[in-house]
Amino acid sequence: MTSASIEVNAPTASVPGELKIIADAVCTFCGCVCDDIDLHVKDDHIVEAKRACVLGKAWFLNHSVDDSPSCLIEGRPATLEAGYDRAAKILTDGKYPIIYGLSDSPCEAQRVAVGICDWISGTVDTTTSVCHGPSGMAFQGVGEVTCSLGEVANRGDMIMFWGSNPAESHPRHFTKYSLMPKGLFVPNGRKDRTCVVVDVRRTKSAKAADIFIQMKPKKDFEALWTLRALAKGLELDPELVHRETGVEFAVWQDLMERMKAAKFGVIFFGMGLTMTRGKHANTEALLALTRDMNAHTRFVAKPNRGHGNVTGADNVVSWRTGYPFGVNHARGYPRFNPGEYTTSDVLANREADCGMTIACDPMANFSQPAREHLASIPFIALDTKDTPTTRAAAVAFSVATYGINTGGTVYRMDDVPIPLRPAFASPHPSDYEVLTQIENRVKKILGITG
């Protein structure tokens, strides 16, 4: 179980005053994980990020190595050794520890975090639980008809976005993967594809669509079941459909005819589905529709994932515990129960008595009851930046940024693993290094050898 022997890639050495070019660097800001970025680095500062989108440029060009302490205990500078000791004591003193976050860490660090959770019989959860967690539940219920983004680029002629706004959340999605590429079976690129956007707002993504369907808020389930009925050839009451979905029945009929006529259809879905009333039932409906469409033609569905390695977190937690998120080890074996072992619930129900957050900011992104409880218990925070969560932590580690300062492996949103190519070293330790040191101390306290 130990992970201490795993090494992650280190950046090549920099020479002061010389320009260093990192070809095909990897942007880990969002789930697209674009791996064709050319970074120009001078004196440990990224001066150019070729081919990066607006979010990628902000990610790379705002990165600077600061001189803040690598460790704070109760807000005061401390040595890393003291921080590791205190962190291990917090985690082993607790009766209900929770480890949360992980979606902006490489897989190697995620692996260590899950190991720590196992040693301390704690709960491990990732930011998946508050983004596509309901999709994870739906995958288990319905299954997933899927493909890689490369297949979308080469085959997809009917591209749908449901409750997702990639123009703002994944700016290169259209140009690199889904709409613009000229592929093997879509040689004319955008001209060979039909783009449909379904949303409650006319988002910036709607401008890229051939067909925009603006539906009633909180009616995704009804709209998707309307399409399922149409796919099966069932009769529906047009007035009822219009009243429930806010969209003329004829529009849904037209959409279904186009979906049936496609050669390779793709539905990308976002948090418009998973965060709205219905949640996993909404996603189940979309996945079931996708499955149904395969009676007519080839159709796949893919969640548009947010954080750079949230997909890796799903994979690592799954292969270490058997479940993708919200996993409790209190009985000595893993149990999965969203709504009970997920962090929003564990904190809002005032159950955890200590914790560790890794590359996440629950003090800014959780409900007020959850924040209040987190602030009341001792916890450790690892982050690359100063956040409300690091400020509330008993022990806060400033860590090196994955993909810029450290190597490792991340998973693109289509489950394709991609190795990182770091640009320059950081004075701060990596989260892998911090977690490994904490794990060693936890094992020592618990008397675990080997």
Partner 1 sequence: MTETFILIPGRTTDQGCGISEGKFQDKYQNEIRALQVAPGDMARLGLRPGDRVRLTGEEGQSVEVCITAGKKDELPEGLLFIAYGDISSRMMTGDTHGSGMPTSKGMDVTMELVERAAQRE
Contact region for partner 1 (CB under 8 A) — 224-232, 287-295, 360-368, 415-423?
360-368
Instruction: Give yes or no for residue 165 binding partner 1 (CB under 8 A).
Output: yes
169 near partner 1, rule: CB under 8 A: yes
Please, what is the minimum distance in Å from the beta carbon of residue 79 to partner 1? Answer: 26
Which of 12, 79, 367, 376 is in the footprint of partner 1 by CB under 8 A?
367
Compare residues 148 and 276 and give the one whose CB is closer to partner 1.
276
DSSP-derived letter for residue 93 is: H
Tell me how crowded residue 69 is: count the other CB atoms within 10 A of its CB. 17
Closest C-alpha to 424, from 440, 408, 406: 406
Q: Which is closer to partner 1, CB of 2 or CB of 365?
A: 365
Beta strands in 102-226, from DSSP E residues, in sequence order: 123-126, 158-162, 194-199, 211-214
Q: Is the dihedral of CA 333, 313, 112, 393 positive or negative?
A: negative
User: From the list 31, 94, 97, 171, which residue makes contact with partner 1 (rule: CB under 8 A)?
Assistant: 171
CA–CA distance, 14 with 69 (Å, rounded to integer): 22
292 lines the binding site for partner 1 (CB under 8 A) = no
Nearer to partner 1, 46 or 293 (CB): 46
Q: Which is nearer to partner 1, 131 or 300 (CB)?
A: 131
176 to 205, contacts with partner 1 by CB under 8 A? 200-203
Query: Does residue 361 bind partner 1 (CB under 8 A)?
Result: yes
Q: How many H-runs (helices) and E-runs (strands) does the chain carry?
A: 17, 19
**Amino acid type, 279:** K
Measure the CA–CA gap between 356 and 116, rounded to whole angstroms: 10
For partner 1, give the closer residue by CB, 11 or 171: 171
Secondary structure of residue 77 in the 3-state scheme: strand
14 is a contact residue toward partner 1 (CB under 8 A): no
> In angstroms, rounded to a whole number, what is the distance separating the alpha carbons of residues 215 and 196?
13
| 105 touching partner 1, by CB under 8 A | no
Euclidean distance between CA atoms 312 and 318, whole angstroms: 10
CB distance 296 to 231 below 8 Å? yes
Q: How far is the CB of 31 from partner 1 (least distance, A)?
A: 12
Q: Residue 385 Cβ, how far from partner 1 at the closest point, in Å?
A: 7
Q: CB within 8 A of 303, min separation 6: which ones?
A: 132, 135, 268, 269, 270, 274, 283, 413
Q: Residue 328, interface with partner 1 (CB under 8 A)?
A: no
Closest to 283 in 3D by CA, of 98, 430, 139, 429:
139
Closer CB to partner 1, 326 or 407, in the complex: 326
45 interacts with partner 1 by CB under 8 A: no
* 276 forms part of the interface with partner 1 (CB under 8 A): yes
Is 214 a binding residue for partner 1 by CB under 8 A? The answer is yes
Q: Give the contacts of 383 (CB within 8 A, at least 6 positions apart).
A: 357, 358, 359, 360, 361, 389, 390, 396, 397, 398, 399
Dmax over Cα atoms in the chain, in whole Å?
A: 72
Among 83, 97, 134, 422, binds partner 1 (CB under 8 A): 134
Smallest separation, CB 396 to partner 1 (Å) = 14
Binding part of the chain for partner 1, among 50-58, 113-121, 148-156, 190-198 by CB under 8 A, reads 50-58
- Decide if 87 contacts 356 (C-beta within 8 A): yes
| # residues contacting partner 1 (CB under 8 A) | 56
By CB under 8 A, residue 268 contacts partner 1 = no
Judged by the rule CB under 8 A, the positions of this chain that interact with partner 1 are 29-30, 54-55, 58-59, 62-63, 125, 129-130, 133-134, 137, 165, 168-169, 171, 200-203, 214, 217-218, 271-272, 274-277, 279-280, 306, 325-326, 338-339, 342-345, 348-349, 361, 364-370, 385-388
